[in-house]
Amino acid sequence: MKRLVSYFLVLNLVLQNLCAQPLQKKTAFTRQDSLRGGITPGRAWWNVLHYNINIDVNIEKKEISGYNQLTFDVAQPGKNKIMQIDLQQPMFIEKVTDGNISYPLKREGNVYWIDFGERDFHTAKGKVNNSIYIYFKGKPQVAANPPWDGGWIWTKDAKGRPWATVACQGLGASVWYPCKDYQGDEPEEGAIINVTVPSDLVAVANGREGPPGDERNGKKNYSWRVASPINNYNIVPYIGHYVKFSEVYKGEKDLLSCDYWVLDYDLEKAKKQFGRDVKRMLKAFEYWFGPYPFYEDGYKLVESPHLGMEHQSAVAYGNRFQDGYLGMDLSGSGWGKKWDYIIIHESGHEWFANNITTNDIADMWIHEGFTMYSEVLFIEYYYGKKAGDEYCLGIRNKIANDKPLIGPHGVNQEGSGDMYNKGANLLHTIRQVINDDELFRTILRGLNKDFYHKTVDSKDVEDYFSKKSGKDLSKIFDQYLRTTKIPVLEYKLSENAISYRWTNCIEGFNMPLKIKDQKGEIGLSPTTNWQITKLAGVSPVSAPEFDNLLYITTKQLSQ
């Protein structure tokens, strides 16, 4: 019994951590929050095209130094431009130059203002590229509880050797390098990450490995190139005693290179675990969501000292080569221990978070809700629809309904941690309403095709579902995303009839549902007004069977 109690205490802590986002508890917002999360005048006039990040990592001092060559084009021509660049304290910018001229800097908290004076950015958007070199250095914030409370991670592997990386979702990429730290403006021409480390270590990053770097003065340079647009927080180096093995997956679009970087002593365990789950993940997700979105950059898993993160084309893996979530089934259904949670969940983000990225972190339910639902779809693909339903119902039990899934916009604040489990159950509910699994799959694939490598708002996705399904789903999205209320179907039974209406819901809520009586399935279209439908074989004490896959509650009233 003590062991059982201990297990559930640990599971509860894990579930709290899973849904604990780093900014979630803010109740008041400052100018710094608006500068971080909004489209400010210092951001609006220019568009990021490419980052070329070059850093020298001092493992012993836990310091980094280097420069970011930022290439951009201009959306608003004219003189007297002030550029906002984000870099969080205690990191600092030493200078900004275009190679000839150094520009004045002014710091305001975690923001720098670059004054270009009389320089005339007269070019039309997309026509001419402009570059500046931003030199920076310092000791970046150390992660207190990665990946949830992020920053740089400086640790040791099992042999006592240096092991370092970054996890900074929510906190922001500006915790370690200067950038436009806003999700809605990805470097659309990709990025280069050059990392110099002590020569006995290996540096891995996103995309594909470039030519071998120089080795001098006891240091070696590693170069990685990303061809696709990439979210700022996804750009990370991993530094350690890494070795690599590879395989090729024959996917929908082409042959996909799959590379795995793990610590040298974990090679055999990784070959077994990754070899089993990566290809079957790709097969299931390409079926449901369409081709892997980053064939140009390849698929990569990298062993990390923290649990995991969706770092694009370099997914962080720290699940200790075991099934489930650190060996546990988050759903309690039994289905969650038949696969490696981090491989499946974090890879699902390649479609939802990395391919389709929200402009504002307030809409992050799109990242987490869809990816949590990808677990349901993975189970369904291999173990059947009933198994997927059971897993989804299991994670439903962890929903707190503490606040809406969508947070306040423009201040770098996400909504409730329920974005995972409630987000997945919202999608399962929408699927029942659409009532056509092939159409539902077509919509998921269409999202990834029509919003390929794009940033979106929640409304873009909501409207897409309504348009492609041919059903107005707006009230359902409003109910589950923007309130904490779970709709209640109140009903009364009389001889061979049922009266019903929706309560605990927004005005105009009209979600249809199915019930079963002795003769079969019947469709109802409840509103907030009472309606009545004839049934076969029911009485005031013999209720029909309601669809338990909808995330609702039911309440029988007396006549």
Q: List, for residues 66-101, the tens digit of each pLDDT value.
A: 999 999 999 887 777 899 999 999 999 999 999 999
Structure-block tokens of residue 402: 């503490």
Question: 23 and 412 in contact (C-beta within 8 Å)?
Answer: yes
SS3 category, 353: coil
**Greatest Cα pair distance in the chain:** 89
Question: 274 and 261 in contact (C-beta within 8 Å)?
Answer: no
Instruction: Please report, in angstroms and rounded to a whole number, the separation of the first and last CA atoms in the chain.
Output: 46
CA atoms of 479 and 404, how far apart (whole Å): 9
Question: 496 and 509 in contact (C-beta within 8 Å)?
Answer: no
Q: What is the pLDDT of residue 160?
A: 98
Q: Exposure string (b/e) for 342-363, b if CB count within 10 Å is 16 or more?
A: bbbbbbbbbbbbbbbbbbbbbb
Residues 6+ apart with CB under 8 A from 392: 331, 373, 376, 424, 425, 428, 549
Q: What is the pLDDT of residue 24?
A: 53
What domains can you pick out in the chain, each with its CATH number?
Answer: 2-16+344-482 (1.10.390.10), 45-318 (2.60.40.1730), 488-556 (no CATH)
The gap from C-alpha 514 to its chain's centroid, in whole angstroms, comes to: 33
Q: Exposure string (b/e) for 204-217, b if CB count within 10 Å is 16 or more?
A: bbbbbbeeebeeee
CA atoms of 119 and 475, how far apart (whole Å): 50
Residue type, 415: G
All residue ranges of the chain with pLDDT < 70 are: 1-25, 122-128, 537-542
CA atoms of 270 and 56, how far apart (whole Å): 29
Q: What is the pLDDT of residue 26?
A: 73
Q: Which strands form 497-503's sheet, in the order they lie side by side?
A: 531-534, 497-503, 488-494, 553-556
The dihedral built from the CA positions of residue 356, 360, 361 and 364, taken in this order, carries a sign that is: negative
Query: SS3 breakdown of the chain: % helix, strand, coil, rounded to 5?
Result: 30, 30, 40
Classify residue 521 as left (phi > 0), alpha (psi -120 to 50) or beta: beta
Q: What is the pLDDT of residue 122?
A: 56
SS3 category, 381: helix
Q: What is the pLDDT of residue 520?
A: 80
Q: What is the pLDDT of residue 544?
A: 82
55 to 74, 80, 178: CA distances (angstroms): 27, 31, 12
Residue located via tokens 């070959």? 271
Q: What is the pLDDT of residue 226?
A: 98
What is the bridge-based pairing of β-strands 531-534 and 520-524?
Answer: unpaired
